């Protein structure tokens, strides 16, 4: 029992010594870090450009290569922010910048005061590279482009979509440089994924505008879409076969005179679909020499049905006198 108590006491003392050692080690590191950060350093950082106060009737053509390499001299504390976050500098297009017929020209000497005001008083600007920046611009244009809904929708067994998917609005107005707008023909949405659907859908989808230049303006950033979903069933009807493009003087006898056509339609439209809504033809001009069979094709079909299939693959014929 006494030995156990001694062992626990020694273990506690050793642990306490380790904790004190770690504490002093941490304090020493902090003191060393503070000493380092209190010294003056000169470092060069790459600043990305944030364009502000650009006239609404104009758009700056984006050029990601335009950056400023700014050399700063200050205490280590002040430089920490530029190591942990991507540095950014504002360039004001309303002042301290020259304008030509095709570009804005920024000069570091003319804009130095504005540039310096964006830094702390304890930071000295040692050098700025390059001396000037050119920003090509264009007059804003307006273009209306269609919206393309990207979707992966699966329906429960026996259910399907009726009619077309309705997107609202079905087009988007984009404001920006004509040179950029000429390259845009449509705007896609994020892909909508829905499974085992068996009722009407009414949802929204975000437009994929993040892939375009941020200088473009869009009339909307998301669209709504509606899908009418109904119970579907299979139907089959006998449809008369018509032989077309038979040469003059050629007489045919063919069999069968009718073929069965299967289709899927909603329960609401099932009774409205009639044989007259279909037309099956066999094109004699497509006949391969030596064959005595024609291939039936569906030339006309009702809009209220889908997934059509002719049950008979061939129509046999003979040429008569």
Token pair listed for 165: 């998917």
Contact 150, 106 (CB under 8 A): no
pLDDT, position 260: 97
Cα–Cα distance for residue pair 314/321, rounded to 1 Å: 23
Cα–Cα distance for residue pair 49/87, rounded to 1 Å: 9
Cα–Cα distance for residue pair 321/251, rounded to 1 Å: 7
pLDDT, position 8: 56
How many Å from the N-terminal Cα to the C-terminal Cα in the chain?
A: 123
- Which pLDDT tens digits describe the chain residue by residue (321 residues)? 555 555 654 554 455 555 665 555 555 555 544 555 457 788 889 898 889 988 877 878 767 678 999 898 888 777 777 877 788 899 999 888 999 888 999 998 888 888 888 888 888 888 899 999 999 888 888 899 999 999 999 999 999 998 889 999 999 999 888 888 899 999 999 999 999 999 999 999 999 998 887 778 899 999 999 999 999 999 999 999 999 999 988 889 999 999 999 999 999 899 999 999 999 999 999 988 888 899 999 999 999 999 999 999 999 998 886
Alpha-carbon torsion, ordered 171, 175, 179, 184, to 10 deg: -20
Angle at 235 between CA 230 and CA 238, to 5 degrees: 150
Cα–Cα distance for residue pair 160/287, rounded to 1 Å: 37
Q: Domains for the chain: give ranges and CATH numbers.
A: 40-130 (2.170.120), 139-227 (2.170.120.40), 232-320 (2.170.120.30)
- E strand or H helix that includes residue 150: none
Cα–Cα distance for residue pair 94/116, rounded to 1 Å: 17
Contact 215, 60 (CB under 8 A): yes
Contact 107, 132 (CB under 8 A): yes
Cis geometry, peptide bond prior to residue 32 (ω within 30 degrees of 0):
no
Give residue 163's region: left, alpha or beta (phi > 0; psi -120 to 50). Answer: left
Token pair listed for 182: 């000429």
Cα–Cα distance for residue pair 240/29, rounded to 1 Å: 93
Contact 140, 59 (CB under 8 A): yes
- The total number of residues shown for the chain amounts to 321
Q: What is the pTM of this model?
A: 0.53
Q: What is the phi/psi pair of residue 271, to 5°? A: -75, -15
């Amino acid at each position: 029992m006494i030995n156990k108590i001694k062992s626990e006491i020694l273990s506690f003392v050793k642990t306490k010594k380790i904790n004190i050692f770690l504490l002093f080690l941490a304090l020493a590191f902090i003191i060393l870090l503070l000493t380092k950060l209190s010294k003056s350093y000169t470092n060069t950082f790459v600043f990305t450009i944030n364009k502000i106060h650009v006239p609404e009737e104009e758009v700056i053509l984006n050029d990601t290569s335009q950056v400023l390499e700014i050399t700063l001299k200050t205490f280590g504390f002040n430089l920490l922010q530029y190591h942990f976050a991507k540095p950014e500098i504002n360039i004001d297009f309303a002042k301290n910048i020259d304008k030509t017929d095709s570009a804005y020209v920024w000069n570091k000497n003319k804009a130095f005061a504005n540039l310096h005001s964006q830094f702390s008083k304890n930071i000295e600007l040692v050098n700025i590279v390059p001396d000037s920046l050119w920003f090509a611009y264009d007059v804003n244009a307006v273009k209306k482009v269609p919206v393309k809904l990207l979707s992966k929708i699966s329906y429960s067994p026996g259910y399907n979509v009726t009619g077309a998917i309705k997107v609202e609005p079905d087009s988007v107005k984009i404001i920006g440089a004509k040179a950029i707008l000429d390259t845009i023909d449509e705007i896609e949405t994020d892909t909508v994924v829905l499974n085992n659907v068996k009722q009407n859908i009414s949802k929204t989808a975000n437009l994929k505008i993040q892939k375009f230049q941020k200088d473009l303006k869009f009339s909307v950033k998301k669209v709504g879409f509606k899908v009418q979903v109904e119970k579907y069933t299979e139907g089959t009807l006998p449809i008369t076969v018509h032989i077309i493009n038979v040469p003059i003087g050629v007489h045919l006898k063919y069999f069968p005179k009718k073929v069965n056509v299967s289709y899927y339609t909603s329960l609401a439209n099932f009774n409205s679909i009639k044989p007259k809504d279909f037309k099956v033809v066999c094109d004699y001009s497509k006949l391969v020499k030596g064959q005595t069979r024609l291939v039936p094709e569906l030339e006309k079909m009702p809009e209220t049905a889908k997934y059509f299939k002719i049950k008979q693959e061939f129509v046999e014929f003979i040429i008569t006198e």
